Amino acid sequence: MNATTAEPMVEVLDLHKSFGSTEVLKGVDLQVHAGEVMCIVGPSGSGKSTLLRTINRLEVPDSGLVVVGGEIIGYELHGIQLRERREADVARQRSRIGMVFQQFNLFGNRTALENVMLGPVRTRRADRATARQEARRLLIQVGLEHRLHAYPGSLSGGEQQRVSIARALAMKPDLILFDEPTSALDPERVGEVLDVMRALAADGLTMLVVTHELGFAREVADTLVFFDDGRVAESGPCRDVLARPRQARTKDFLARVL
């Protein structure tokens, strides 16, 4: 992907966010282009998850902007003023941005198929039959054709996470945010989720992945961002950052993790 030719799919501009007196994001700038796979790594507590959650407005930033697909997330321009959008409008914007959570967050009272169908049925008013057919196709795609009617409680962690990826895909989003998708999994279940993500990357999906899986990053990511203390400490083509980190902090981190 040639990063310089097109408008970025996601543009994060000078993003700040505090929880109480703790400043978690201290001015983040980031660009993700269509079809790009960006992995964000860094020590825990450095603000990686908050950054992802601010991109689809599960967190409201204190200042700074998130622009996705040319639209400012959460605000609209009135003259020179940025006014907060109505909730239905934010919901429409969110529907373009998929999210996969560390804890899966599947709807406990719905089967795998119903979990995947819920978004399309409730938001786009797609008729149930079409949504059901599409959900079935997606669950087969993530290798769960035998678990269509299982409830989350009876699925393994890896299976739940694959359902949640299918749920995100069902909205046909412009990009998907992955918030430590394998951190809550048993080690032997990590591979099946990474396999699915690898296939999505190969299909050209735009992905923003917060992860500790450097092996996955090395193999799949176009760009690697090293995040530290609420800022982007270093970013660049994945191979370069891993092979020749410029910052001391990045070197330290990679030395500890690898």
Partner 1 sequence: MLNDAGAAAALTTPRPSGAREQFRQLARRPLQPRRRLHPGQWLASVVVIGFAAWLIRTLAANKLIGWSSVGHFLFSGAILHGLLGTLELTVVSMALAIALGFVLAALGACANPVLVSFVRFYVWVFRGVPLIVQILAWYNLALVFPVLALGVPFSTWHLQGPTNTLITPFLAAILALGLHEAAYMAEIVRAGLVPVPHGQTEAALSVGLTRRQAIRTVVLPQTLRVIVPPTSNQLVGLLKASALVSVIGGVELLTTAQRIYSVNFQVMALLIVASVWYLIVVSLLTVGQHFLERRLNRDRIGGDRSASSELAPDLSGIDPQL
Chain positions contacting partner 1, by CB under 8 A: 56, 58, 87-88, 91-92, 94-99, 101, 103, 105-111, 118-119, 122-123, 151, 153-154, 164, 167-168, 170-171
Q: Which two tokens stand for residue 56?
A: 């689809």
- Report in angstroms how near the CB of residue 86 gets to partner 1 at its nearest: 10
- Report in angstroms how near the CB of residue 199 gets to partner 1 at its nearest: 21
Task: CB nearer to partner 1: give 172 or 246.
Answer: 172
> Residue 145 has what DSSP assignment?
G
Burial 30-57, CB ≥16 within 10 A → b, else e: bbbbbbbbbbbbbbeebbbbbbbbbbbb
- Report in angstroms how near the CB of residue 91 gets to partner 1 at its nearest: 5
Q: In whole angstroms, how large is the CA radius of gyration of the chain?
A: 18
3-state secondary structure of 131: helix
Angle between helical axes of 187-202 and 157-169 (0-180°, round to 10): 20
* CA 236 and chain centroid, separation: 19
- Report in angstroms how near the CB of residue 238 gets to partner 1 at its nearest: 26
3-state secondary structure of 240: helix
Task: CB nearer to partner 1: give 146 or 239.
Answer: 146
- Report in angstroms how near the CB of residue 179 gets to partner 1 at its nearest: 10
Task: CB nearer to partner 1: give 132 or 241.
Answer: 132
Task: CB nearer to partner 1: give 118 or 232.
Answer: 118
Task: CB nearer to partner 1: give 49 or 223.
Answer: 49
